[in-house]
Structure 1
Amino acid sequence: YQMGGRLAGNIDWRVSYIVTPRFTDNTDGTVTDNLTGLIWLKNANCIADNTGFDNSGTPNDGMVTWQQALDFVRGLNAALYDCKDGSNGGSAQTDWRMPNYNELLSVFDPSENDPALPTDHPFSNVQAERYWSSSTGVGVNEKDAFVVDPGSGNGTGNPKSMFLYLWPVRGGKSLP
């Protein structure tokens, strides 16, 4: 198993959905994935709530380039941006990051559509367009990063200069 709960090579998607409940709303602006231990922001488009950060493309839609997504995460960790994360007693967490490709894939349930999330998921503002991952690699141009489409739960590579969404994550645990 890889982080994110899928078999190596993404052969069996169903392994990600064997934990009940899959997600726990922590009632502090975060959601815990009970399979992977990853902690996600409940608001899957919190950049849009931070007026002034997203000033490219269509202002305040939350869509940013890959580099802007990395910059937002740095600012989130430095308490420059507010994503309504109350999980640290009102102080900003400092370990938010862009999820890697497997982590981002693991959130989605490909048996569902628009969004490809389990029907009882607690997330808000999940967008219909693709989300950035931190992963670049073999088979993808160095100017590309892997992304995941929440409508289908499938992934692909896209140029880092495109405007897409970011869904910050932190934590996690190794799976057997």
Structure 2
Amino acid sequence: MDKRFKDNGDKTITDIKTGLMWMKEDSYLQSGRWTNWFESIQLVRQMNEDGFANQYDWQIPSIKELTTIYEADKINSKVLGKGMIIHIDPIFS
């Protein structure tokens, strides 16, 4: 595994290349179901109110930001299971 991503030990991952911080688990892994746009906004609002990982500036990532963690040569099927293939570093659980 390369050293591009750092597990911060607080349920977050830092992308050393971009400086962006990501949740280690997405909302699907946390809730066991997909969320819609409104629910995603509510989740981010709650994360900021709670100070998730001692941060208060969480936001929904832009498409440009999301493309920075896409890696065609990596597969992380443990994220969703069920035969779904996600091209993201396995450091994300």
TM-score by length of 2: 0.74
RMSD of aligned residue pairs (Cα, Å)? 2.0
Corresponding residue to 2:21 among 14, 34, 39: 39
Question: In 2, Cα distance between the equivalents of 1:25 and 1:68?
Answer: 26
Question: In 2, Cα distance between the equivalents of 1:41 and 1:100?
Answer: 15
Matched, 1:108 2:70: yes
Alignment correspondent of 1:69: 40
Matched, 1:123 2:92: yes
The structure with the greater share of residues assigned to helix is 2
Percent identity of equivalent pairs: 32
Deviation per CA, 1:2-37: give whole Å up to 9, x if none.
xxxxxxxxxxxxxxxxxx511011112111001100
**1:47 Cα shift?**
4.1
Question: In 2, Cα distance between the equivalents of 1:71 and 1:123?
Answer: 22
Q: Which amino acid aligns with 1:44?
A: D
Alignment correspondent of 2:7: 25
Question: In 2, Cα distance between the equivalents of 1:116 and 1:40?
Answer: 15
**1:112 Cα shift?**
3.1
**1:62 Cα shift?**
3.2
Q: Within 5 Å, give how 1:87-166 maps onto structure 2.
A: 87-88=53-54, 93-113=55-75, 114-118=85-89, 121-124=90-93
Alignment correspondent of 2:79: none
Deviation per CA, 1:101-120: give whole Å up to 9, x if none.
011111110223422123xx
For structure 2, list consecutive stretches of 5 or more residues without a partner in the other structure.
76-84
- How many pairs align? 82
Where relative contact order (Cα < 8 A, 6+ residues apart) is larger, the structure is 1
Question: In 2, Cα distance between the equivalents of 1:28 and 1:71?
Answer: 21
Question: In 2, Cα distance between the equivalents of 1:71 and 1:64?
Answer: 10
TM-score by length of 1: 0.42
Question: In 1, Cα distance between the equivalents of 2:41 and 2:23?
Answer: 15
Q: SS of 1:122's equivalent?
A: coil
